[in-house]
Amino acid sequence: MKKACLLLLLPLFLCSCREHSTLSLSSEPSTSPNTSLIDIVGSNSSETKQSTLLLSVEEATIEIGEQIVFHVTDSLSGIEVSNATVRAVAGGYYIEERDGGFYGARAGQTQFQAFSPSYENGSNLLMVTIKEESTTIPLYVNTTQLAEGDYGTLFTPSYDIGKLTFEFTEGDGTIYRDGRFRLDTESATIVGYTATRQTNPVTITSIALSDTPYYNVDEDEFYADYEPASSNEDAYFRSLVGLMSGSIAEQDQEPTIATNQPKENGLFVRNTTMDYSSDMNTYYVLDSAGNRAFEIYRNGAYTTLEEVAAYIYAFADVPANYEEDKDARPTQSIWGKYLRVNHSQFSGDSSNWPYQPILPGVSGEGGNLQYYEVDIGTTGTDCDPSYTAAPYNNGTKITRGAARIVYAREHLDGTPITDPKERYLFYTYNHYNDFQEYLNYESGWGEMFGNITGGGPISHYDPDYPPTPYVEVAFKAF
């Protein structure tokens, strides 16, 4: 929704997508007058005037991310009312409450009111406008060399790309709302914009498929002398013809755990460092000492748990060899035995599956994070008799097994997750009974929690042995 439209909305029609938010200005006893009645004796009058709460704000218009600073005073004495609380009574969707204060979250208007036990009535209603930042929105593209007939992808890591309008400032083609595009010319420049902001331009050139390095390559020869991709561009050209970028080793069901896993105050540490190349297409996975261990490319194809987890954690999406269709067949895919399927929403609703542990912030339990799940192809399973202990993909048939990655993909309103502390990713190899958290470093996996860990039977809830809860972690930048 554009800002121009938001500003026309009347306060009473602003919707709130959550319970009224409340900000307490102090927990100390009130330093305001003992009564809300203050005697004011004028030269010609002996009337008693009643004081009220007066709510004011330092800045009535703020940008997204800025804090709203309130003052609540007695209307007659001007004394600060320290036991007052401030609530968002309309338009709570546009603000975020954290660290004991209110912050602008989305462009729109929010109406506030203050309350105090020392006063019979609430304060005046106060409108705060949250406007979009005036800075340039960073825009990136998955490849600057796009094969003829192929789709490219535009992305904005810190902004909802669906709220941008795109245009070609040079060249021509087609751009879709999800950021995908095609070119009709040999080169093109694309810019995105909102009502108040604009992106940087990105320029893409078209390349004939026959001019790409893996065109008509012999697949057997390629894998006989296999080397992982050396760059994001290399990964892109491989993916065009269904060739892998990462390790092609078989994946055991259990994760490989680093011998040295940092802890603080008895908690495993999750690394909050997000180490990208300047074009945001290469992600550098660190080891537990903070050194770069290996690279993941946005255009790449991956199958091992370690590389798929790093890919999804970095890019909030799946590698090139994944298809959403759970019934996709290896024989009908360019990926053959490296095809992986399933990329679907995960509710985490424990009322339907009470044996599953509750994941942090998951939407199915009232949280604000939309989780997704994907298959991890292992060589089998020995923990759930409901699943055949067979290789995931033998080239002709997929046996999906019980291994999944479940991860927080975005907020419920579609905005990207920018806070590393909300970037959750978990692995389960017994079909949601138990989970281990990915800690954002090589072989960094947290403590297992859930149903079997708590002593319950596989895929069934036993009230005497409920699932153990999510195991908290410490956060630290490596």
- Ordered DSSP codes for 436-474: EEB-SSTT-B---EETTTTTPPTTS--TTSPPPPP---E
Rounded Cα distance between 344 and 468, Å, is 25
Rounded Cα distance between 400 and 15, Å, is 43
Q: Could you tell me whether strands 22-24 and 85-90 are parallel, antiparallel, or unpaired per DSSP bridges?
A: antiparallel
Q: Do residue 290 and residue 414 come from a single domain?
A: yes
Q: Do residue 126 and residue 144 come from a single domain?
A: no
Rounded Cα distance between 110 and 61, Å, is 10
In a domain, 233, yes or no: no
pTM score: 0.76
What pLDDT sits at residue 381? 78
In a domain, 228, yes or no: no
Of the chain, the percentage scoring pLDDT greater than 70 comes to: 90
Band of the pLDDT at 47, cuts 50, 70, 90? low
Rounded Cα distance between 95 and 67, Å, is 9
Secondary structure class of 352 (helix, strand, coil): coil
**pLDDT single digits (tens) 80-133:** 999 999 999 999 989 998 878 899 988 899 999 999 999 999 999 999 999 877
pLDDT at 165 exceeding the cut of 50: yes
Q: Is 76 exposed, middle or buried (0-12, 13-18, 19+ CB in 10 A)?
A: middle
Q: Among the three residues 69, 102, 131, which one is the final residue of a domain in this structure?
A: 131
What pLDDT sits at residue 21? 64
CATH number, domain containing residue 178: 2.60.40
Q: Among the three residues 113, 131, 149, which one is the final residue of a domain in this structure?
A: 131
Q: Do residue 387 and residue 466 come from a single domain?
A: yes
What pLDDT sits at residue 388? 78
Are residues 470 and 461 in contact, defined by beta-carbon separation less than 8 angstroms? Answer: no
* Side chain identity at residue 53, one-letter code: L
Are residues 61 and 128 in contact, defined by beta-carbon separation less than 8 angstroms? Answer: yes
**pLDDT single digits (tens) 2-38:** 333 333 333 333 344 444 566 666 434 333 343 343 3
Are residues 461 and 384 in contact, defined by beta-carbon separation less than 8 angstroms? Answer: no
Q: Do residue 162 and residue 120 come from a single domain?
A: no
In a domain, 272, yes or no: yes
Structure tokens at 354: 């009470």
Q: Do residue 278 and residue 170 come from a single domain?
A: no
In a domain, 349, yes or no: yes
CATH number, domain containing residue 460: 3.10.450.30
The whole-number average pLDDT for the span 455-477 is 96
Question: What phi-psi label fits residue 179: left (phi over 0), alpha (psi between -120 and 50 degrees) or beta?
Answer: left
Q: Do residue 344 and residue 466 come from a single domain?
A: yes
In a domain, 116, yes or no: yes
Q: Which residue has the tokens 């005497």?
A: 464
Q: Do residue 191 and residue 295 come from a single domain?
A: no
Q: Among the three residues 131, 161, 178, which one is the final residue of a domain in this structure?
A: 131
Q: How many domains is the chain built from?
A: 3
Rounded Cα distance between 435 and 180, Å, is 34
> CA torsion angle for 9, 15, 16, 17 (degrees, to 10)?
-130
**pLDDT single digits (tens) 325-379:** 999 999 999 999 999 999 999 999 988 899 999 999 999 999 999 999 999 999 8
Q: Do residue 12 and residue 150 come from a single domain?
A: no
Structure tokens at 97: 């409450």
Q: Do residue 45 and residue 183 come from a single domain?
A: no
Q: Do residue 155 and residue 127 come from a single domain?
A: no
- Other Cβ atoms closer than 10 A to 360: 18
What pLDDT sits at residue 396? 96
pLDDT, greater one: 63 or 214: 214
Are residues 179 and 153 in contact, defined by beta-carbon separation less than 8 angstroms? Answer: yes
Q: Residue 307 sits in which domain range?
A: 263-476
Dmax over Cα atoms in the chain, in whole Å?
104
- Other Cβ atoms closer than 10 A to 98: 11
Q: Do residue 281 and residue 365 come from a single domain?
A: yes
Rounded Cα distance between 462 and 466, Å, is 6
Band of the pLDDT at 384, cuts 50, 70, 90? confident
Band of the pLDDT at 195, cuts 50, 70, 90? confident
SS3 content of the chain, % helix, strand, coil (to 5): 10, 30, 55
In a domain, 390, yes or no: yes
In a domain, 237, yes or no: no
In a domain, 193, yes or no: yes
C-alpha 129, offset from chain centre: 25
Are residues 383 and 402 in contact, defined by beta-carbon separation less than 8 angstroms? Answer: yes
Rounded Cα distance between 303 and 252, Å, is 11
What pLDDT sits at residue 19? 44
The whole-number average pLDDT for the span 315-328 is 96
Q: Do residue 112 and residue 146 come from a single domain?
A: no
Of the chain, the percentage scoring pLDDT greater than 90 comes to: 79
Band of the pLDDT at 285, cuts 50, 70, 90? very high
Are residues 312 and 373 in contact, defined by beta-carbon separation less than 8 angstroms? Answer: no
Distances (CA, A) of 96 to 57, 65, 71, 87, 103: 17, 9, 18, 12, 5
Band of the pLDDT at 415, cuts 50, 70, 90? confident
